[in-house]
Structure 1
């Protein structure tokens, strides 16, 4: 029942496409554009290629936040985000995070999920190419990103705990807590910058954790 309600809401967000051609990805669009592809059987023994074109940095809570679906290079549909485009055999789900894409997956009617293929020239495509060409380096970068977010979450948690226990009523009940680390102002700035970089790197791989990435965003 819940899935049916969600599908109906998603369908109401979709409008027909206007048939315009899909523009190729340009290098200057790296900071703000994501482009993914999904080839599917067309029923006649060939392949139909769907493409999802979405701008990063949109406020997903805004009615202006949109994703576009193309079919064989022509504009097929548009939807407000989060989007769920019906395609043969399932649905293409698109959702943003504060740092990029949170989801761009093909979900079949059986419930299996498949990440769409990023355009080779896009930021996501370049990150995927690095993973294929240099898997060890890719794993190391991913581990560093995860470590940065864990450290940032722990530091944020301890600082919040210290602030909460400074309230006299709370201190009387649970006692005072002192954060083990008090970085200087410049240290907080550096931590913020590397945390943003780590979350952006994870978004390029469409990795999202509500605890880690959501806490940062």
Structure 2
């Protein structure tokens, strides 16, 4: 997040209500993200900060943007629309959403260092991180497969979308027609679309995001 974006995000932060942080439930596996980080206060005492994002909120928001809640020692400390920039001792916790989950949940210190917050073990992100620690080879294979699926989707689906766009009368009148070199059956296009969505979700669980690949996916 650029400094100007960070300043704008900081203005969206509102004080918390002090309510207690609710525990993660199994049915929230893909609808909630929960990340935590322990920081040191100026007096040396540890402070546990937790970021709670309920993804369904953006679907009910007029502007389509979700919100993030920040808890301190399990009590509601602050809230903000996304992207968020919460001031914390020694830096800022930055939170940003993608169409498939979170793409950023990091603490940026005043000297520019970045630390990713730790996902709750029961969450989908926590389970994915546990897989990476316990089965690194399998984790790498899944990660590579996700990238391959997205690249294939871009290479095959984009020319077909361009062809559709060139069938619009204003576009055709100005630029002529365009025939895609790729022509796939509907079932295969659907399969590629589902694969791209699953790949983007998997990458979001690791806070991986590419502006082009994951947006198209």
- One fold, TM greater than 0.5? yes
Matched, 1:191 2:192: yes
> Which portions of structure 1, spanning 4 or more consecutive aligned residues, are displaced by more than 6 angstroms?
none
Alignment-derived partner of residue 22 in structure 1 = 21
Q: Report how far residue 171 of structure 1 moved.
A: 5.0
- The 1-side partners of 2:198 and 2:44 are apart by 44
The superposition leaves residues 134-163 of structure 1 with CA deviations (integer Å, 9 ceiling, x where unpaired) of 000000000000000000000123224444
Alignment-derived partner of residue 42 in structure 2 = 43
Query: Does the 8 Å contact 1:57/1:98 carry over to 2?
Result: no
Please list, as runs of the form range in 1=range in 2, the aligned pairs for 1:160-199 lying within 5 A after superposition: 160-163=161-164, 167=172, 170=175, 177-180=179-182, 182-199=183-200
- More deviation in 36-45 or 53-62? 53-62
Number of residue pairs the alignment of both structures matches: 210
Structure 1 unmatched runs, 5+: none
Task: State the TM-score, normalizing by the size of structure 2.
Answer: 0.88
The superposition leaves residues 160-192 of structure 1 with CA deviations (integer Å, 9 ceiling, x where unpaired) of 4444667475359xxx55413x22111111111
Alignment-derived partner of residue 11 in structure 1 = 10
Query: Does the 8 Å contact 1:57/1:100 carry over to 2?
Result: no
Alignment-derived partner of residue 95 in structure 1 = 96
- The 2-side partners of 1:79 and 1:63 are apart by 14
Q: Report how far residue 64 of structure 1 moved.
A: 6.3
- The 2-side partners of 1:75 and 1:63 are apart by 23
* Structure 2 CA distance for partners of 1:18 and 1:163, relative to 1, 3 Å: closer
Alignment-derived partner of residue 71 in structure 1 = 72
- The 2-side partners of 1:57 and 1:129 are apart by 25
- The 2-side partners of 1:148 and 1:57 are apart by 26
- The 2-side partners of 1:215 and 1:132 are apart by 29
Q: Report how far residue 9 of structure 1 moved.
A: 2.1
- More deviation in 41-50 or 199-208? 41-50
Pairwise CA RMSD of aligned residues? 2.1
Query: Does the 8 Å contact 2:42/2:89 carry over to 1?
Result: no
* Structure 2 CA distance for partners of 1:192 and 1:87, relative to 1, 3 Å: same
Query: Does the 8 Å contact 1:153/1:215 carry over to 2?
Result: yes
Structure 2 unmatched runs, 5+: none
- The 1-side partners of 2:102 and 2:65 are apart by 16
